[in-house]
Structure 1
Amino acid sequence: MVVRVPSGEDQRLADHVVRLVTDLTAAVARDRDPLTVASRPAPDGSHVLVPALDDLLHRVRELWWQRLEPADRLAVQVAAMHRDPRPTPLGEVVKACRLAAACGHELTIPEFTSLTCGSVKPGPRATWQAEVGTRPYGIGHIGEFGSIRAANAAVWDTIETNRELLRDRLRTSSPLLAGVAARGWEEPAVSVWATATQRDHDDPSLVTMHQIARRAGVTAAEADRWRSQHAAFPQPEPATSVWYWPLVERWLSDNNHLPDPVPDDRPTLPRDRSF
């Protein structure tokens, strides 16, 4: 067996591993619990005590990982995903993409939070605002909707479309990454800022002027011009900026402004923001 003597940082890590093995051997000989030999910073800024065995394994993994070629690191990352029966966290997918870049597989990745989170919040005058990602990095504001369900659907559609965009890029990049694309990924976190009463009374037939414009296939300015120039155009619900769609639909049909079929009123997707 040939033993290569490490240098620099590798040497210090190797020496630390030897000391930890010695301490563990002594602890076992005394029939005692493994010594607590180190502390590591936690995400919240505090420090946690690390048992010697955990620290030893961590250091050994570091030494091993540093000696792997980029392609081997990618293979190890993907193999770890396949061994885990749980849905794959998006952070692990992005890590695989970055490892692939070191192997020559360049990937443009949608902004991370546009793949993982979104929210539906109350807007002005009885509207609901749909947002994806976290500012200032995420997609941000998608649009205003007349119902919680419509805004929620727009958020989920945006996230899923960005995920499918990433899956397509993984499939065409390499066989290893195609396997990552085929896995089930963790569910996005979509929060709805609405009370139980608001959810119970949510009416999907309520629409905003932007929704009306999309369904009619015109700009929001054109739809608003119809409202201002035609007295017969339906009035919004009292003290709101939302309209009752069946009434608007009838007016559009009577005035030859209703396409067949009626387009979806959700945002044009995907909204890709890259790193």
Structure 2
Amino acid sequence: MAGTLYIVATPIGNLDDMTPRAAAAFGATDFVAAEDTRVTMRLLNHLGLKKPMVSYHEHALNRGEGILRRIEAGETCALCSDAGMPCISDPGEVIVRDALARGITVTPVPGASACVTALAVSGQDTSRWVFEGFLPAERRLRRKRLAALDGEMRTIIFYEAPHRLRGTLDELSAAFGGDRSITLCRELTKLHEEIWKTTLAEAAAHYAQAEPRGEYVLVMAGAPEASSADVPTPEEAAAHALALMREEGLSPSAAAKAAAQDTPYGKSEIYKLLLTLQEQDGGAE
């Protein structure tokens, strides 16, 4: 009979946040799958436990396959990341996906999560939010990701390392405007914990002079809702589509689609008005 895969949350900084159930899960399982066995060894030593461990960070090299086979053979496994809830912006998600596909029982042992902890103390809107994790390291992919978030009205959460914080703040400011509200949460639950609600411009200026230290969670406000005064009329959107055809050489269909974006109107509605405008304009292309 197959064993069980336990997904065990660990403290994100303060060891006193270890839950009794998480400690018990480590004690009861046959082996531990850790993101970094050195980090988890210190945690197990704190709990007074000794357990066989295997690293799962190289799942792409079939490390995860070995873990799943052991569970299928009847062993129980506690999977944990270096800190927080495993499988969130973490390669453990692949093991969970494969375990479920193979009919293995997956049981959560929940606890601290840096993104939710930061959101709760951010002072930003917590009713609707989106988690982006770490932005891509490659500049082209990073800018593409930020462009995809243009107009996103939900609160947006990023993770960032200290050596990349300055560049990220500069790019966020360029993409979303320096006056966009952001809360920087640094070293959560640790000795030097800091929570600072400010603007992107002020944060970028501060860290241009100050050295970033520790791990950061960035909780950025979403785009403000457009007021009714900012919404164009259907006729104005059609005129914009006609301008796009003339200035950028777009086809009527492509121009109507572009002009309808970020408006309450559909592409077909703008397209019909655009054709009418073309006729009135003498069939201008």
TM-score range, shorter chain: under 0.3
Which is greater in Rg? 1
TM-score (norm 1): 0.23
Higher relative strand content: 2
TM-score (norm 2): 0.23
